[in-house]
């Protein structure tokens, strides 16, 4: 007889259920046992290491950057220690309301509004996502004590001792030394910054940028043991590797020359620049630009007014180095290049005479001497002495369909990179027939090259664009008999004990052959211009006890008053240094640039000029 399920004994059904449940339990137990065996035997070492790591914390110890020194050892840039309030974002409360409350309270401690706190976090995360946020540097000891005493109320908030760049002389040599800042995401991908982490500081301008790999030290490491709350345990320091400070950089800057040049520019209160350079090896003894800025501003959060003043003022442009990054016409300071081009190509000789009747005419355009003067028959030396424009107009006219003037401009370094060890230099422009005719063919100018273009270039006008650095190289080549030096401010790398580790002595870029007769004639003309009665700068340098050879320049700039230039080689006839000064809207060359150059030479030679009359004659005391 057949029995359905409902007719079977209850005991058999219960036994079946128990067997099924038991089988499942055995299977689960087996799986659990296998997993425990896997964790303990196969992966035990891995998880033991992780557990030990959870009991330790590693902290990078930032290395101080090396000092930047003048040639005599005077400190231009060093470091100071600062207490900084730092946020570690992943350790802040996860709850948005709690995080907002904590950040608001922290902001109040350092006098920052919630809006400013959020902006600071956002700006730093844009530069280096995931890096600790430096909310405020140079916090007071009262804030430090309060944070430390209430650490549990401020998770993710710590006080760290950091190194901050210090500038003992404020703005001194600001455009030379440059600034530092946090490494950017783009820089982290570049080979020079391999191994750096978000938040690390690198050079951003000046020699801080060029010599960053020497100035930047190697960070240290501290590993400590912590408890379950993440707090350091007593005596829990496990490893401590001290940081290696960066090496020191010695510059070729002469502090007396630098101070004199900056003071000379500041006293005149106009935008301008100066450079003083050794004509034989290219060492820059002084370089400055006005307006200047204070590099220390970049070591702390800037106000909006500071941002506007430093970055958003295109006219004052204090961050721009007018000595190396400008593009100016030079006026008559350019005439030494015109003279060399004419002499070396046989257009004239030192004894060739040109009649100056006050002007020359080209078509409907008349080119006149400054002030309407006329000088009659002139050879090269007196033409340089009185700065006859007509004499040099005539040379430009004779060479207008040749490339003599352009070739010699480039030979002497005008319109080309100089190899300077500071970032940002401009190449400038030497206008030529090829350049203008190409623009005309493209419809970018109203006419092709003409004689008038070369006439204007011959006196440093027209479309010429150059700067004091390039002019210094050109004058240096005249003074050193044709060597085109490589200008530089970096002189030596030293360790902390002052031992030399590396010297910088870049080779000249080339040598240009200059006829000694041509060189002597031009130098003689410059000497008479600077120190012989009737010379254009004799009223300034006539009483200076050191013989010099100098040239004034008065450049016309559309939309601006005349720009003042002065170039000087000293001592004459065997010069060691060149100084170039330019002052925007400074008037005639002898009016502002020449007196500024005199102040620089007085500092270099430690000699002072006696008072002279406007013609250059000594005034009786």
pLDDT in tens, 31-67: 776 666 665 655 555 555 545 555 666 667 788 999 9
Fold of 57-141+158-251: Penicillin-binding protein 2a (Domain 2) (3.90.1310)
Give percent of the chain above pLDDT 70: 86
pLDDT at residue number 178: 97
192 backbone dihedrals φ, ψ, rounded to 5°: -60, -20
HSE-up (13 A, CA, CB side) for residue 300: 16
- Give the integer Cα–Cα distance in Å for 268 and 254: 22
Per-residue pLDDT reduced to its tens digit, 343-367: 999 999 999 999 999 999 998 889 9
Whole-number pLDDT of residue 79: 95
Q: What is the mean pLDDT of the chain?
A: 88
Model pLDDT, residue 163: 87
Give the pLDDT band (50/70/90) at residue 19: low
Q: Does 216 have pLDDT greater than 50?
A: yes
Rg over CA atoms, the chain? 36
Instruction: Note the pLDDT of residue 619.
Output: 35
Query: Which positions ≥6 away from 77 have C-beta within 8 Å?
Result: 67, 68, 165, 166, 167, 177, 208, 295
Measured distance CA(68)–CA(420) in Å, rounded: 18
What pLDDT sits at residue 620?
Answer: 31
Q: What is the pLDDT of residue 185?
A: 83
Range of lowest pLDDT (18-27, 112-121, 230-239, 457-466): 230-239
Task: For residue 156, name the pLDDT band (cuts at 50, 70, 90).
Answer: confident
- In the numeric block, the tokens 């570690």 are attached to 88
Total residue count of the chain as it appears in this document: 621
For domain 255-311+321-605, which architecture applies?
3-Layer(aba) Sandwich (3.40)
Q: What is the mean pLDDT of residues 603-612?
A: 86
Q: Yes or no: say if 137 and 297 are a contact pair by the CB < 8 Å rule.
A: no
Copy the structure tokens of residue 50: 């992780």
Domain boundary assignment for the chain: 57-141+158-251, 255-311+321-605
- Could you count the other beta carbons within 10 Å of the beta carbon of residue 110? 16
Tens-place pLDDT, residues 198-212:
778 999 999 999 999
pLDDT at position 43, please? Answer: 58
Q: Is the pLDDT of residue 307 over 80?
A: no
Secondary structure E strands in 436-509: 483-484, 490-494, 500-503
Q: Which pLDDT does position 159 carry in this prediction?
A: 85
Give Dmax over CA atoms of the chain in angstroms.
153
State residue 480's pLDDT score.
Answer: 98
Backbone phi, psi, residue 421, to 5°: -90, 35
**Contact present, 582 and 468 (Cβ < 8 Å):** yes
Angle (deg, nearest 10), helices 96-109 and 114-127: 100
Average pLDDT over residues 527-536: 97
Q: Checking DSSP bridges between strand 483-484 and strand 510-511, what pairing results, if any?
A: antiparallel
Region of poorest pLDDT, from 130-139, 352-361, 403-412, 576-585: 130-139
Residue 4 pLDDT exceeds 80: no
The stretch 328-348 carries a mean pLDDT of 98
What is the arithmetic mean of pLDDT over 147-155?
85
Residue 621: the pLDDT is 27
Confidence of residue 160 (pLDDT cuts 50, 70, 90): confident
Query: If DSSP codes are grouped into helix, strand and coil, which group holds residue 424?
Result: coil
Residues 6+ apart with CB under 8 A from 238: 56, 223, 224, 225
What is the average pLDDT across 237-265? 92
Higher-confidence residue: 426 or 1? 426
pLDDT in tens, 78-123: 999 888 888 888 788 888 898 898 899 888 888 889 998 888 888 7
Q: What is the mean pLDDT of residues 176-182?
A: 94
> Where residue 614 falls among pLDDT bands split at 50, 70, 90?
low
Q: DSSP states of 566-577 as a string?
A: EEEEESSSS--E
pLDDT value of residue 618: 42
For the cut 90, the answer to whether the pLDDT of residue 279 exceeds it is: yes
Least confident of 16-20, 250-254, 437-441, 479-483: 16-20
Torsion angle of C-alpha atoms 383, 389, 390, 393, degrees rounded to 10: 110
């Amino acid at each position: 007889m057949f029995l359905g399920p409902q007719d079977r004994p209850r005991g058999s059904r219960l036994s079946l259920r128990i067997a099924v449940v038991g089988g499942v339990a055995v299977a689960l137990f087996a799986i659990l046992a296998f997993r425990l065996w896997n964790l303990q035997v196969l992966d035990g070492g891995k998880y033991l290491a992780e557990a030990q790591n959870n009991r330790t914390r590693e902290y990078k110890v930032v290395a101080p950057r090396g000092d930047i020194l003048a040639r005599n050892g005077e400190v231009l840039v060093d470091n100071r220690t600062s207490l900084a309030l730092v946020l570690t974002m992943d350790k802040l409360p996860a709850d948005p309301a709690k995080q907002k409350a904590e950040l608001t309270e922290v902001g109040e401690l350092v006098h920052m509004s919630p809006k400013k706190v959020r902006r600071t976090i956002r700006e730093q995360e844009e530069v280096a996502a995931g890096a600790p946020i430096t909310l405020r540097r140079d916090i007071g000891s009262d804030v430090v004590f309060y944070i430390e005493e209430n650490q549990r109320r401020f998770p993710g908030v710590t006080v760290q001792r950091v190194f901050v760049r210090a500038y003992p002389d404020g703005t001194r040599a600001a455009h030379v030394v440059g600034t530092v800042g946090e490494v950017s995401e783009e820089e982290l991908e570049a080979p020079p910054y391999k191994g750096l982490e978000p938040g690390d500081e690198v050079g951003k301008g000046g020699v801080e940028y060029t010599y960053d790999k020497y100035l930047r030290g190697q960070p240290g490491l501290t590993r400590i043991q912590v408890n379950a709350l993440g707090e350091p345990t007593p005596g829990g320091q496990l490893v401590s590797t001290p940081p290696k400070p960066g090496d020191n950089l010695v510059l070729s800057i002469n502090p007396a020359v630098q101070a004199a040049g900056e003071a000379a520019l500041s006293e005149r209160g106009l935008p301008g620049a100066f450079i003083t350079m050794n004509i034989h090896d290219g060492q820059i003894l002084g370089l400055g630009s006005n307006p200047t800025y204070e590099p220390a501003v970049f070591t702390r959060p800037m106000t909006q007014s500071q941002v506007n003043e430093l970055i958003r003022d295109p006219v004052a442009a204090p961050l721009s180095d007018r000595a190396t990054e400008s593009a100016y016409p030079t006026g008559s300071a350019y005439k030494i290049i015109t003279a060399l081009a004419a002499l070396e190509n046989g257009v004239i000789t030192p004894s060739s005479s040109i009649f100056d009747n006050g002007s020359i005419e080209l078509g409907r355009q008349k080119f006149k001497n400054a002030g309407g003067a006329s000088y009659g028959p002139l050879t090269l030396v007196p033409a340089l002495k009185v700065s006859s424009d007509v004499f040099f107009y005539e040379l430009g006219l004779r060479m207008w369909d040749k490339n003599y003037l352009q070739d010699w401009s480039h030979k002497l370094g005008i319109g080309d990179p100089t190899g300077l060890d500071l970032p940002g230099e401009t190449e400038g422009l030497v206008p030529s027939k090829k350049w203008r005719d190409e623009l005309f063919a493209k419809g970018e100018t109203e006419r092709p090259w003409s004689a008038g273009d070369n006439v204007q270039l011959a006196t440093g006008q027209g479309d010429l664009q150059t700067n004091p650095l390039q002019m210094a190289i050109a004058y240096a080549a005249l003074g050193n008999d044709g060597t085109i030096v490589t200008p530089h401010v970096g002189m030596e790398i030293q360790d902390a004990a002052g031992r030399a580790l590396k010297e910088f002595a870049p080779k000249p870029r080339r040598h240009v052959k200059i006829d000694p007769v041509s060189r002597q004639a031009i130098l003689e003309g410059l000497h008479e211009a600077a120190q012989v009665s009737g010379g254009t700068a004799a009223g300034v340098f006539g009483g200076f006890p050191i013989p010099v050879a100098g040239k004034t320049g008065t450049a016309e700039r559309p939309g601006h008053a005349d720009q003042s230039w002065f170039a000087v080689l000293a001592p004459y006839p065997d010069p060691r240094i060149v100084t170039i000064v330019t002052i925007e809207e400074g008037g005639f060359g002898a009016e502002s640039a020449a007196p500024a150059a005199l102040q620089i030479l007085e500092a270099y030679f430690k000699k002072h000029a006696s008072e002279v009359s406007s013609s250059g004659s000594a005034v009786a005391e």
